[in-house]
Every structure is written in C-alpha cells, then in structure tokens.
C-alpha cells in the first residue's frame, strides 16, 4: 500500500528531515511512527500527502509513484487518504454534521450521499446526538472524534494520524484508539505518529522509530521504548 524507496528529504534551510528511508507498509496494517520531535515523523506524513516532494528516492502509494503525479491529480490522491491532527482542525462556525458533510461536499458528492453517509459515520463515532452542535460546544475528545469521522467518511484507503491523542486525556485517548482500530479492521491502512508511550506499549502493533531522519527500528509487534532488542 505504502512504499518508501531510499527517500531523502532536506529542507531549504539545510536540515535533513529524512535520510535514505526505505519502508514497506502493506494494506490493512496499523503502524506507529515514533521518535523525538524533529526526528522526521511529520515529514514522513507530509510526503505521503504530497505536501512535499522527496529530494531523492520514490514513494509509491497503491502501486503509483506519487512523485510523477501531475499537480492537478494530487487532490484525487488525497481523496484516498484521511487525515487526523493533534489540533482537530475543525471549522468552528460549522456544526458537527456540516463539518463532516463538508469533506463530502467539496469533492462533489451529491446531496443524497451526504445525507446518508454523514449520520452513519456520526453514529460510528458515537456523536449522532451532537450533530447540530458547534465544535466549540464539544469536549476535546468529542472534537477529535468528529475529526476522525471527517477523515473516514469518504472511506479512504489510508488514514494518517499526526499525534491524534496529543491533546487528550488517557480516557479520551482510549476512545480514539478504539475508533482507529475499528477503522483499521475495515481494511484501512493506518499510520499514526505519536509520543504516547503507554498507548504504543499496550497496542503491540508495528512500530517504526525515526531518529534524525533515519529509520532506527522497524519492529513487528513493538513497544515505544528501546529497552527491548532492536533491529539496527
């Protein structure tokens, strides 16, 4: 599903963000991306979204080299990728329903699709009764669930999550993780960048650790720390 082939990326100010990264993620995998701040996690996700282009190497998604994609096709690539962020990125002046519907409307889905899909997905994240509320009237955990609903309403092949639990307490983090797992079980590939040690340790999923832009560990059923034997 996702394939990095010797990908390097250096930003204009000279700091290398990724160095010769080769990673293969299969369809339906659940992958944690861990590492200190500035280790290249966010760059990894931005490359997947084609917000950046690699300096060297190739990135393949669903068998396509996204580096050769002409810019007008990028939106169509992004329709296959859902995104969740630490800061939710909801539109404060739209209701919960409209926030989720917005994701369908701007890619030209007809009204009937919007009206059938949005209640369904709100039901999935357990917010059917808050459809008419504004995001400001919701707790952080609920807002993040709206964001997950928006990311998944279009049934993308890949779900990217950049510190989705970074602003949440452990209870709400659990709820979000349960949701991501559930989404993963439908066959969606999930890539999640995180700092949350307890969460990674408990889930025992594949862990890719980045350090100064290099993959220092790729462990099938890994934990956050490096106190276990690591692949160097």
Contact set with another protein (CB under 8 A): 49, 71-72, 75-81, 83, 89, 91-92, 102-103, 105-111, 150, 154
Q: How far is the CB of 75 from another protein (least distance, A)?
A: 4
Q: How far is the CB of 184 from another protein (least distance, A)?
A: 20
Angle at 174 between CA 172 and CA 179, to 5 degrees: 100
Residue 175: both structure tokens together: 């709820």
**Closer CB to another protein, 75 or 140, in the complex:** 75
Q: How far is the CB of 84 from another protein (least distance, A)?
A: 10
d(CA 123, CA 133): 15
d(CA 6, CA 20): 4
Q: How far is the CB of 86 from another protein (least distance, A)?
A: 14
**Closer CB to another protein, 27 or 89, in the complex:** 89
**Closer CB to another protein, 58 or 79, in the complex:** 79
Residue ranges in the chain assigned as alpha helix (H): 41-48, 74-78, 96-105, 111-124, 140-152, 170-185, 197-203
**Tokens 């700092």 appear where?**
195
**Closer CB to another protein, 89 or 185, in the complex:** 89
């Amino acid at each position: 599903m996702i394939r990095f082939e010797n990908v390097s990326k250096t930003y204009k100010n000279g700091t290398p963000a990724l160095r010769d990264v080769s990673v293969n993620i299969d369809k339906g995998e659940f992958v944690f991306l861990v590492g200190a701040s500035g280790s290249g996690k966010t760059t990894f996700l931005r490359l997947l979204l084609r917000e950046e282009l690699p300096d060297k190497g190739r990135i393949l998604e669903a068998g396509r080299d996204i580096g050769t994609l002409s810019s007008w096709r990028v939106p169509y690539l992004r329709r296959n990728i859902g995104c969740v962020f630490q800061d939710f990125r909801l539109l404060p002046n739209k209701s919960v329903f409209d926030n989720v519907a917005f994701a369908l409307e701007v890619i030209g889905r007809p009204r009937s699709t919007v009206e059938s899909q949005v209640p369904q997905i709100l039901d999935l994240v357990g917010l059917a009764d808050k459809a008419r509320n504004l995001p400001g009237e919701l707790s952080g955990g609920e807002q993040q669930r709206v964001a997950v609903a928006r990311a998944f309403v279009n049934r993308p092949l890949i779900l990217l999550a950049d510190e989705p639990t970074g602003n949440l307490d452990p209870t709400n983090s659990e709820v979000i993780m349960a949701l991501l797992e559930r989404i993963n079980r439908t066959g969606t590939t999930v890539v999640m960048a995180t700092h949350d040690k307890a969460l990674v340790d408990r889930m025992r999923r594949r862990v890719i650790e980045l350090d100064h832009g290099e993959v220092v560990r790729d462990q099938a059923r890994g934990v956050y720390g490096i106190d276990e034997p690591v692949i160097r």
